[in-house]
Amino acid sequence: MELTGAQILLECLKEQGVDTVFGYPGGTILNVYDALTQEPDIHHILVSHEQGASHAADGYARSTGKVGVCFATSGPGCTNLVTGIATAYMDSSPIVAITCNVSENLLGKDSFQEVDITGITMPITKWNYMVRKVSELADVVREAFLVAKSGRPGPVLIDIAKDVTSAVYDYRYLPPAEHRSHGRLGSLVERRDDGLRVPSVDAADVDTLVEMIEASKKPLLICGGGVVRSRAHEEFNRFANVADAPVAITLMGAGGFRGRDPLTTGMIGMHGSQASNMAVDNCDLLIAFGCRFSDRVALNPKTFAQQAAIVQVDVDRSEINKNVHVTHHIVGDAKRVLEMLLERLPQQDHAEWKDFVFSFPTETEYDEGGDHLTPKQISDVVARMLPQDTIVTTDVGQHQMWVAQHFHYEYPGQLITSGGFGTMGFGLGAAIGAQVGNPGKRVIHVTGDGSFRMNCNELATEEHYGLPIITLIYDNEVLGMVRQWQTLIYGKRYSQTTLDRPPDWVKLAEAYGLSGARVSTSEELEAALTEALACGHGYVIDCVIGKDEMVRPMVSGGQHITNFIAV
Amino acid sequence: MDSIDTTRRRSISVLVDNEAGVLSQVSRMFSRKGYNIESLAVGTTADPTVSRITIEVLADDDQIDLLCNQLRKLLAVHSVKLLDASKSIRRELVLIKIKTETSEVCNRVIQIANIFRASVIDVSSTTITLALIGEESKTDAIVDLVREFGILELVRTGMVAIERGTRTIYDQTKERGEFDYGKNVLREGL
C-alpha cells in the first residue's frame, strides 16, 4: 500500500499497539501532525512544553510497563526533550522519542531549527537513529521499539528528515511477531542467534548462590529498580520469605517489595533507615537484585558491606563490578533468576539476625509541627484517605525522600520518581503520563515549591484533558534539600536557597482553571483532600511545612553507610 | 594498602556495525572518562557490514575493565577484546617524507631504509618518501635516525593488532553471552 512517510510512521506505531502519544508540533514535523488528523486510533496529548511530553511518555511507560512515545519538532523542540530522555535513560525507562529534522537538502547547513539531535542524545539513549530514506523508516521504527523494551530497557530516539515524511513508499503491515525476522532487525537477531549467546540464565551461577545463602547466617537482600522493571514483585516476595532475610529497598526499587512487609527495613543509602544501613554494615551475605550500587546507595564503595560476600543479580553485565566489587554475579532478568532460586532454595530461618536488624528503626519519627505540617503527618493523612493503589509521582528534593520513606508502595510502578538523574520538574509531566495510562487509578503528584515552579505550565495540559491529578506541594519557601546541605555542611550560609517570593499556588491553580487550597494542619489537609477527591478535576494542595525540617537519617556522600550526620 | 599502579598502554579490538555514528559512539566512551586515545585504526573486516576498531589507550587494570564493559554495552558493538601484549602482534604503517637536498643525503636515507626494510615509495629532486611497517620500537628508531635530515611530513595509520595462534575475536565466551543478555533483541522485555 502506497503511503507517505508520515502515514507509515503512524501505521508502525499502531503495529506496536501505541494508542497514546505526547507531543508538540512544529515546522518539520507538520506532515506527521497532518497525517494524525486522519488517524482516529492514536490519541495525541498536546503538552505545554516538550519537556513535559518527554516526562509524560516516561510516566506512562513506568506506570503501564508499555513503551511511552513522544513527538517533537526539530531544533528547540527536540532539545527540550533532552532532560526527559536523560531522565528515562538513568532510570531504564522504555520510551521512543520521535523527532523530525530539516529536509535532506538542508541538513548540515545550519538551517532554521536544525540541530544534530542524534549527536546530542548519543550518551543518553540506548540507541538512536537518523532516517534519511523512506524505505528504511518502517524497519527503523520496528527496531527502535524492540531495542527500547528488550533486555535492560531505555530510551530510543528516531530523527526523521522532513522530506522522508512526505515521500511515498510501499508499506506492508507486519505483525510484531515477525519483526525479528525482517530487514535490519533480522540481521541484528541473526548476528546474536548463534547458540551460546541465546540468552539464558546460567544454572550453575544460581546453584552457587543457593549454596552461599545456605551457608549464610546474616543475609540481606536489596530490592532495586530491576525488580520493578521486570515486574518481579511476586517472585521477590516469595524469595524473601523463603530466604527469611531482611529486605532493604532502593529508591528505584520502591514497589518491588511491599513497603509494609515485616521483612522490610525501609530505604537504603544516603537517606536510608538506620535498620537498612546497619544491616548492610553487619550482614555476611548481601544479594542485590537490579541495583547498580549508585553513590546514593553505596556511599563509600570501599567500605560498603565490608563484612559480606556481595552478590549482584543484573540484566546488564556492564553493571557488574562497576561501582562495587562483588564476590559473585548472575546475569539475567530478575524474574527469571528469582524463579530459578525458588525452585532450588529450601526454607531458611534467620530469627536471631532479624531481631538484631529490626532493633533499629525502619522509619524516622518527627516532632509535631505546631503551626505547620510535618512530612509524617502529610503521609499519614494521604495514606488514610487515598486508595491503596494510588500512583505517586514526585519531583526531586526533600519531598521526594519523605515520600520514599513514609509512603508504602505495594506494586511496581506505584512510585514514579527520577532517581538516577534527579530531575526537578519531572513529577507533573510524569503524573499526566501515569493518569492517561491508568484512567481508573488515582494519581497524585507530590512536589516541593522549588520543583513545582519548574514545569507547573503542564497544569494547562492537566486541565484541558480533564485529568483529576492531585498536586501536593510540600511548601517550605526554600529549596529544602540544598538548604539542608547548607545547614549541615556549609555553616548555615543559605546561598540562593530562599524562595520567599512564591506565587500564590492556589491562585495559580485557579488561573489554569483548576482549584486548590492552602493547608497547615492535618484537619485542613483532610478537608482539602476530601474536596480534591470529589471535584473530578485537577486540584493543587499547598501544604505548609517548616523550612528547617530535614530529611533524616542522613549520611554524607562518600561516607561510610552508618556514619549518620542526622538521625 | 594501595595496590601498585598498573597503568600502561593497552590495545583493545572492537567489532562494530559498519554504520554512521558508531565510531563516535565508541570514541565518546574514552573522552567521557578523560582518556586520550593514543592510537586508533578502523577498517572493515572480511564481512563488509562489520568494522574492526583497534584502539590504544593508557589505562590501569580497573579503568580498562570499566571502559571495555561500557563499550560492550553499546548496541552496535558485537564484541570487545582486550589484547594481551605477549600473545598478540601489533603493527602500524608509517609514511615519512624526508628532505634530501643532496644525493649524498638521499643515499644515506636509502641505506637506512634498507637496514629497516622500509620501502622507498616516492622520490623527487629534493625529497624521498619511505613506507615502514612495524611496532613502535622499529618505527621510532628509524624516525630518530632520519630526523637530522629533516622530516617534512610523518603519518601513521594507527596500530592494528591481532592475537597469535588459533584464538580470534569471534570466539564465544560466557562473558560475551552475558553482555548480550542485557542488549539482546531476541526476546521481549517483560
In this prediction the ipTM stands at: 0.89
Give the integer Cα–Cα distance in Å for A73 and A98.
9
Please provide the distance, in angstroms rounded to a whole number, between the alpha carbons at the two ends of chain A.
66
- pLDDT over 60 (residue A443): yes
Give the integer Cα–Cα distance in Å for A432 and A20.
12
pLDDT computed for residue A353 by the predictor: 98
Strands A515-519 and A309-314: unpaired
Give the integer Cα–Cα distance in Å for A401 and A364.
12
Helix (H, G, I), strand (E, B) or coil at A423: coil
Give the integer Cα–Cα distance in Å for A293 and A248.
13
User: Which cell goes with A449?
Assistant: 515549591
Q: Is A162 a catalytic residue?
A: yes
Give the integer Cα–Cα distance in Å for A335 and A340.
9
- pLDDT over 80 (residue B54): yes
Q: Is A481 a catalytic residue?
A: yes
Are A356 and A283 spatial neighbours (Cβ–Cβ below 8 Å)? Answer: no
Asked if A150 lies within 8 A of B185 by C-beta distance, the reply is yes
Give the integer Cα–Cα distance in Å for B168 and B175.
15
Per-residue burial over A118-136, b = 16 or more CB atoms within 10 Å of its CB, e = otherwise: bebbbebbbbbbbbbebeb
- pLDDT over 50 (residue A197): no
Are B131 and B92 spatial neighbours (Cβ–Cβ below 8 Å)? Answer: no
pLDDT computed for residue B186 by the predictor: 52
Mutate to test the interface with B, among A116, A150, A158, A233 (most CBs of B within 10 A): A150
pLDDT computed for residue A182 by the predictor: 75
Q: Residue B184: name the closest of A197, A157, A68 by CA.
A: A197
CB-closest option in B172, B176, B181 to A315: B181
Give the integer Cα–Cα distance in Å for A182 and A12.
14
Task: Tell me the count of A-B CB pairs closer than 8 A.
Answer: 106
Q: What percent of chain B is predicted at pLDDT more than 70?
A: 94
Q: By a Cβ cutoff of 8 Å, what residues of chain B touch chain A? A: 20-21, 24-25, 28, 32, 49, 65-66, 69-70, 72-73, 75-76, 78, 172, 174-190
Interchain CB contact of A151 with B (< 8 Å): yes
CB-closest option in B176, B183, B188 to A149: B188
Which residues in chain A are closer than 8 Å to B72, comparing Cβ atoms?
A: 317-318
Min Cα–Cα distance to chain B from A182, Å: 13
Q: Is A145 a catalytic residue?
A: no
Q: What percent of chain A is predicted at pLDDT more than 90?
A: 91
Q: pLDDT, tens digit, for every residue of A104-115?
A: 999 999 999 999
Cell 511548601 sits on residue: A475
Asked if B190 lies within 8 A of A191 by C-beta distance, the reply is no
Q: pLDDT, tens digit, for every residue of A220-270?
A: 999 999 999 999 999 999 999 999 999 999 999 999 999 999 999 999 999
Question: What's the whole-number mean pLDDT along residues A454-474?
Answer: 98
- pLDDT over 70 (residue A486): yes
- Phi then psi dihedrals of residue A131, to 5 deg: -105, 115
Please provide the distance, in angstroms rounded to a whole number, between the alpha carbons at the two ends of chain B.
45
Asked if B172 lies within 8 A of A151 by C-beta distance, the reply is no
pLDDT computed for residue B2 by the predictor: 55
pLDDT computed for residue A193 by the predictor: 47
Instruction: Give chain B's domains with CATH numbers.
Output: 8-83 (3.30.70.260), 90-160 (3.30.70.1150)
Cell 560476600 sits on residue: A309
DSSP B5: P
Min Cα–Cα distance to chain A from B69, Å: 5
Asked if B187 lies within 8 A of A94 by C-beta distance, the reply is no
pLDDT computed for residue B1 by the predictor: 45
User: Which amino acid appears at position A93 of this protein?
Assistant: S
Q: Which residues contact B8 (CB under 8 A, 6 or more apart)?
A: B58, B59, B60
Asked if B190 lies within 8 A of A94 by C-beta distance, the reply is no
Q: pLDDT, tens digit, for every residue of A79-105?
A: 999 999 999 999 999 999 999 999 999
Question: What's the whole-number mean pLDDT along residues B128-152?
Answer: 94
Chain A residue with CA closest to B67: the answer is A318
Q: How far is CA A564 from CA A211, A269, A278, A305, A554, in A?
A: 34, 10, 11, 16, 5
Q: Which residues contact A389 (CB under 8 A, 6 or more apart)?
A: A410, A411, A414, A441, A442
Interchain CB contact of A211 with B (< 8 Å): no
- pLDDT over 60 (residue A198): no
Give the integer Cα–Cα distance in Å for A543 and A133.
53
Helix (H, G, I), strand (E, B) or coil at B165: coil
pLDDT computed for residue A194 by the predictor: 47
Instruction: Give chain A's domains with CATH numbers.
Output: 2-194 (3.40.50.970), 203-357 (3.40.50.1220), 375-551 (3.40.50.970)
- Phi then psi dihedrals of residue A119, to 5 deg: -65, -45
Interchain CB contact of A230 with B (< 8 Å): yes
> Omega of the bond prior to A387 within 30 degrees of 0, cis?
no
Chain B residue with CA closest to A64: the answer is B190
Asked if A130 lies within 8 A of B20 by C-beta distance, the reply is yes
Q: Considering the candidates A481, A547, A549, A550, report the single residue annotated as catalytic.
A: A481
Question: What's the whole-number mean pLDDT along residues A328-349?
Answer: 96
Please, what's the largest Cα pairwise distance for chain A? 72
Interchain CB contact of A195 with B (< 8 Å): yes
Are A65 and A149 spatial neighbours (Cβ–Cβ below 8 Å)? Answer: no
User: Which cell goes with A135?
Assistant: 524505505
Q: Is A109 a catalytic residue?
A: no
Chain A residue with CA closest to B75: the answer is A127
Q: Considering the candidates A14, A39, A66, A113, report the single residue annotated as catalytic.
A: A113
Q: Considering the candidates A126, A149, A162, A335, report the single residue annotated as catalytic.
A: A162
Other Cβ atoms within 10 Å of A257 Cβ, number: 27
Give the integer Cα–Cα distance in Å for B36 and B30.
7
Q: Is A126 a catalytic residue?
A: no
Other Cβ atoms within 10 Å of B114 Cβ, number: 11
Sequence-ordered strand ranges (E) for A115-177: 127-131, 156-161, 168-170
User: Which cell goes with A268?
Assistant: 537504603
Give the integer Cα–Cα distance in Å for A451 and A424.
5
User: Which cell goes with A518?
Assistant: 492552602
In whole numbers, what is the pLDDT of chain B averaged over residues?
90
